[in-house]
């Protein structure tokens, strides 16, 4: 990575490890502010290649300058996530952004059932996005409808899961690693996984580990990036 005003204007793809509770928008704004401050730039384009929810951590690709033209291509790359499903309960947002609204038994769930359900998600399937999402319906974000308690018909859409591994099963928790196509909601995967087990499920932890060939192992924290820019700037 080159640290100069010219390099950032010419275009860089920054690998940032987004912290918990930060929105992707906040991370982009922080990077933009740092570049303008440290390099005296009046204007610079900065954008991200794929949103991460505030309750998720991990790889956020932030593009600067002319590299923002590659955002659409980067968004289309396969992504990998690790995280935890919590069975036996659902939430309206399918994660911990909202409170538990229903509980279900899990005593009937066997290892064989879990394996069968895991395998059923491999390949191309239809998925319904969560109501608490930024997708638009009738000119409004779905989460705006959800927060007003409005009923909205959400269409399913095709997604592809190429790899789905369960790394720890300690009910009610299941840890996983999944590689999936653009547009896959891991929150919906958690909800659907619980439903297929005749129980409930929600996402309790999520980390994005890869986007295409980019790996979070090579990413910088916001603090580390700030230090490097300040030292080199």
- The parent domain of residue 168 ranges over 79-211
Does residue 84 sit in the same domain as residue 50? no
Domain co-membership, 206 together with 122: yes
Q: Is 53 a catalytic residue?
A: yes
Please give the pLDDT value at position 132: 67
- pTM of the prediction? 0.91
The answer to whether residues 128 and 185 belong to one domain is: yes
Segment 173-184, tens digit of pLDDT: 999 999 999 999
Q: In angstroms, what CA-CA distances link 57 with 81, 97, 137, 188?
A: 10, 14, 27, 18
CA distance 5 to 23: 26
Confidence of residue 197 (pLDDT cuts 50, 70, 90): very high
Q: How far apart, in whole angstroms, are the C-alpha atoms of residue 147 and residue 52?
A: 20
Do residue 42 and residue 64 come from a single domain? Answer: yes
User: Which pLDDT score, from 0 to 100, does residue 108 have?
Assistant: 97
> In which band, very low, low, confident or very high, does the pLDDT at 233 lie, cut at 50, 70 and 90?
very low
Longest dimension (CA), the chain: 62
Which stretch of DSSP H or E encloses residue 90?
strand 89-90
- Looking at the structure, do residues 90 and 204 belong to the same domain, yes or no? yes
Q: What is the pLDDT of residues 96-138, one digit of tens each?
A: 999 999 999 999 999 999 999 999 999 999 998 887 665 555 5
Task: Provide the CATH number for the domain around residue 43.
Answer: 3.30.2350.10
Share of the chain above pLDDT 90, in %: 77
Q: What is the mean pLDDT of the chain?
A: 91
116 and 151 in a single domain? The answer is yes
Tokens 């690790």 -> residue: 82
Of the candidates 53, 107, 138, 215, the residue annotated as catalytic is: 53
């Amino acid at each position: 990575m080159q640290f100069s005003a010219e390099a950032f204007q010419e275009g860089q793809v920054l690998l940032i490890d987004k912290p918990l509770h930060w929105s992707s928008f906040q991370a982009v704004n922080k990077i933009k502010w740092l570049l303008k401050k440290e390099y005296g730039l009046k204007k610079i384009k900065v954008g991200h290649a794929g949103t991460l929810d505030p309750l998720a951590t991990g790889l956020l690709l932030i593009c600067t300058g002319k590299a923002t033209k590659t955002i659409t291509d980067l968004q289309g790359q396969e992504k990998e996530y690790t995280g935890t499903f919590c069975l036996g309960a659902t939430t309206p947002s399918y994660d911990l952004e909202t409170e538990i609204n229903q509980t279900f038994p899990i005593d009937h769930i066997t290892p064989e059932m879990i394996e069968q359900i895991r395998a059923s998600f491999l390949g191309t399937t239809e998925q319904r996005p969560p109501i608490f999402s930024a997708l638009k319906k009738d000119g409004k974000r779905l989460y705006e409808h959800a927060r007003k308690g409005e009923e909205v018909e959400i269409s399913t859409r095709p997604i592809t899961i190429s790899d789905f591994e369960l790394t720890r099963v300690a009910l009610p928790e299941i840890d996983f690693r999944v590689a999936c196509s653009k547009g896959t909601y891991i929150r919906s995967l958690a909800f659907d996984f619980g439903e297929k087990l005749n129980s409930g499920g929600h996402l309790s932890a999520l980390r994005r580990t890869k986007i295409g060939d980019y790996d979070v192992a090579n990413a910088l924290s916001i603090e580390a990036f700030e230090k490097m820019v300040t030292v080199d700037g």
